Structure 1
Amino acid sequence: MNIIFMGTPDFAVECLDILVKSAHNIIAVITSEDKPAGRGQKIKISDVKKYSIKKNLKILQPKNLKNSDFISEVKSLKPDVFIVVAFRMLPKILWEIPKKGTINLHASLLPNLRGAAPIHWAIIKGFKETGVTTFYINENIDCGKIIEQKKVSILKNENTGDLYNKLKKIGANTILSTLEKIDNKDFKSIKQKESEKHLKAPKLNRENTQINWNKPSTEVHNFIRGLNPYPSAWTTVNKINKILKVYKSRKYLSSTNENYKPGTIIMTKNTLLISTGSGLIEILELKLEGKKMMNNIEFNNGFKSLNKTNLI
């Protein structure tokens, strides 16, 4: 089939690569505009564009997806199908162009975890299982008819980076099998069932990545691993008013009966513990504002004065 691929980050590159190596024909790639980024404001190009340049693929970078010249150019390419992976919301005038539809890959088992950050929230919410879904795009975000789903287990101490790497490989293979189904017309798309039980996966921001130490230790641990490696869970060291980013933790079986206020730092010879709303959690990797990444022993040795102080 003649395919126009739409995507921006590394997650999408895996899917594009498997399509390039398949019998399908990538007639164009649509990706985000080049933008200045970082302290030096150097122009940054998307991972998908970098890959597309290497493979000599036709690249389109529209500022406005409704632009008439852009729409005309896309129509002139006569695509059979659009494949969309980690891109922005498409206007109807665009997604209704291909005769075989516009297919989106979403990194959750829809309708659960609709939204911008499904991989993070699957771990934050303590899911034991997640997966990927291919579906037809319609007017509502992540609500179209499902074509295919593949499940994957979430391991006990897996973080978002680990799960991301698993899902991008599974997602790429699911895209390929979905196209085979569409080509052979041997499937029936399924309407998503709405339920209040289904959780959302909203975009991550400063507010919803702050650790709440009043929650039980299991929830705090899931929160930390769900935000590792990016954007990272954070808290404030009250005594010195500095941000502390926490990257790695594990649940701690306490033998002490002392009751500490949630968020209290408890240093021992070999451990860095924080009290929570229910139980203690052991911190293994962290980064204090203005300092390099440290393990728990390095932190204890360098910041002994913070023992028995509070995080907020």
Structure 2
Amino acid sequence: MGTPAFAVEPLKALLEAGVQVVAVVTVPDKPAGRGLKLHTSAVKDYALAQGLLVLQPAQLSNPTFTEQLIQLQAEIGVVVAFRKLPRAVLELPWLGLFNLHASLLPQYRGAAPINWALINGERETGVTTFLLSEQIDAGQVLLQERIPLPLAMTAGELHDSLAQLGSRLVVETVRGLADRTLLAKPQPECEMLKPAPKIFRADCRIDWGKSAFAIHNLIRGLSPSPGAWCHMQRGEKGAEDVKLFTTQPLANTGKSPLPAGTASPTELRDELCVACGNGTELLVKEIQPAGKKRMGVDAFLRGLGTEVPIRFS
């Protein structure tokens, strides 16, 4: 059971490992774009290409859907980036129904664990398989795998790394459940849990009063999508929205004399140096002005024609 591209890799890994996948469950097709053409999920596209049975229930609690699952007689259920399941479905696979989550549970329960781990500047993260329960992301842990988080890693890069790591863990979990060698353990108790809620536009706005490292973490944690944004003022022109992507915090630069958000080209004119909170500075290397494509700062500066003051807010 899954929907986005993150769920395709585990499905592919199961097939390559020789696991018999009796059916794939995903969301119904939805109209999208100007022409409102029906948009299919990444999981559906891959499953159909492999000749697999695809189920797309509008309501997971529909008795007809439950009866379809009963007839499939699946021994194990695998869930990756899908919706909350009703109790009637949770109890069906007799060897277990488990979920792959892109964090080291119990930390970062929620819809956006990849983004929030980077935004919060974590040094490591990972993937967890756990038995599903009625409480979101709180079931007993089966397996976990950790990876370090380099300072420059983006959400897109981490997504791809965890998809590959998670795929291997899903296959290992299925094998462990099938031969009954896998022991489920309660999630450890933590005094302070870090949540991973769905990300909204307000969460993506850059606060230039924060330190360069905090801003850098926000930008990479939202890159390439949905993208961190702010207002940009160029000379006497009105403010426009821009998104920032590749950045680098400057360490040991001393106190910046400029107000937070003030930007100036570097000597090479292929980067913008932006003053941040606490006297820190941030190099901006990629930018996307409103209505334009993502571009290097060198191309952006050439497009300005004349050198004008730039202020982010």
The TM-score normalised by the length of structure 1 is 0.94
Aligned-residue offset at 1:15 = 0.4
Q: Matched residue of 1:211: which SS?
A: coil
Q: List runs of 5+ in structure 2 lacking aligned partners.
A: none
Question: Who is 1:147 aligned against?
Answer: 142
1:37-56 equivalences in 2 (<5 Å) = 37-56=32-51
Q: Which amino acid aligns with 2:304?
A: F
| Separation in 2, partners of 1:57, 1:188 | 30
Aligned-residue offset at 1:194 = 3.1
Aligned-residue offset at 1:176 = 0.7
Aligned-residue offset at 1:11 = 0.9
Question: Who is 2:157 aligned against?
Answer: 162
Indicate conservation of the 8 Å contact 1:265/1:307, yes or no. Answer: no
Q: Percent identity?
A: 36
Question: Who is 1:3 aligned against?
Answer: none
User: CA-to-partner distance for each residue in 1:275-303, whole Å, 9 max, x for gaps?
Assistant: 11131101000100022222112222323
Indicate conservation of the 8 Å contact 2:256/2:281, yes or no. Answer: no
| Separation in 1, partners of 2:120, 2:162 | 17
Question: Who is 2:291 aligned against?
Answer: 290
Q: Cα 1:258–1:201, aligned 2, differ >3 Å: closer, same or farther? A: closer
Aligned length: 307
Question: Who is 1:262 aligned against?
Answer: 260
1:52-63 equivalences in 2 (<5 Å) = 52-63=47-58
| Separation in 1, partners of 2:240, 2:191 | 39
Q: Which amino acid aligns with 2:294?
A: M
Q: Matched residue of 1:177: which SS?
A: helix
Residue 244 (structure 1) aligned to one of 237, 242, 262: 242
User: CA-to-partner distance for each residue in 1:170-198, whole Å, 9 max, x for gaps?
Assistant: 10000011111112222321111232422
Indicate conservation of the 8 Å contact 1:236/1:311, yes or no. Answer: yes
Q: Cα 1:301–1:254, aligned 2, differ >3 Å: closer, same or farther? A: farther
| Separation in 2, partners of 1:41, 1:298 | 35
| Separation in 2, partners of 1:191, 1:112 | 13
Q: Matched residue of 1:19: which SS?
A: helix
Question: Who is 2:276 aligned against?
Answer: 276
Bigger mean CA offset, 287-296 vs 219-228: 287-296
Q: Matched residue of 1:18: which SS?
A: helix
2:78 paired with 1:77: no
1:159-308 equivalences in 2 (<5 Å) = 159-238=154-233, 240-253=238-251, 258-269=256-267, 270=269, 271-278=271-278, 279-303=280-304, 307-308=308-309
Question: Who is 1:90 aligned against?
Answer: 85
2:62 paired with 1:64: no
Q: Cα 1:255–1:105, aligned 2, differ >3 Å: closer, same or farther? A: closer
Give the root-mean-square deviation of aligned CA atoms.
Answer: 1.7
Indicate conservation of the 8 Å contact 1:264/1:275, yes or no. Answer: yes
Aligned-residue offset at 1:305 = 6.8
Q: Matched residue of 1:135: which SS?
A: strand
Q: Which amino acid aligns with 1:285?
A: E
Q: List runs of 5+ in structure 1 lacking aligned partners.
A: 1-5
Indicate conservation of the 8 Å contact 2:224/2:245, yes or no. Answer: yes
Q: Matched residue of 1:26: which SS?
A: coil
Question: Who is 1:136 aligned against?
Answer: 131
Aligned-residue offset at 1:163 = 1.0
Aligned-residue offset at 1:204 = 1.1
